[in-house]
Amino acid sequence: MLNESDKLNILKRIDFIQIELNDLDEYKKLTYEVYNTDRITRRNVERIIENISNALIDISKIIIANENIHIPNSYREIILKLGEIETIDEELAKSIAEIDRLRNVLAHQYLDIKWSYVKTFITDKINDVYKFIDAVNKYVEM
């Protein structure tokens, strides 16, 4: 059972993710040409995705700490742990855990590699973020 402080911290992060998702909605039809040539758009999209990723990880850490389980060393393992403890579906945990790879790609890779991950996030992974939020909201209500 979550204490009130942890509930508020999770809900605050969910609200933040919702705002970021709303902002990302503006870029649903983003093309590689625009991504490649418009630095401001590229920076905005990458930053939004990074913010969402960080908030997902923060929520995961709060839940794992609440369950009195050792927090794994990697962000990927942290999210996968939510599937193991059945806070979220294991397949969803695997999909969300891939977002950690996206964070690394955004920081270290070339535009064409970044673009494939960004496009996948905008078109596919975003649905998993909404599923994650729904599952966490159910967890918070318990």
Mind giving me the DSSP string for 13-35?
A: HHHHHHHHHHHHHTTTT--HHHH
Model-level pTM? Answer: 0.92
pLDDT tens digits, 80-101: 999 999 999 999 999 999 888 8
Q: Say which residues have a Cβ less than 8 Å from residue 39's Cβ, sequence separation at least 6.
A: none
Q: What is the mean pLDDT of residues 18-24?
A: 97
Average pLDDT, the chain: 93
pLDDT at 142 over 90: no
> Residue 33 corresponds to which tokens in the numbers above?
């040409």
**Under a CB-based contact definition with an 8 Å cutoff, are residues 121 and 30 in contact?**
no
**Under a CB-based contact definition with an 8 Å cutoff, are residues 121 and 49 in contact?**
yes
Closest to 66 measured CA to CA, from 89, 90, 82: 82
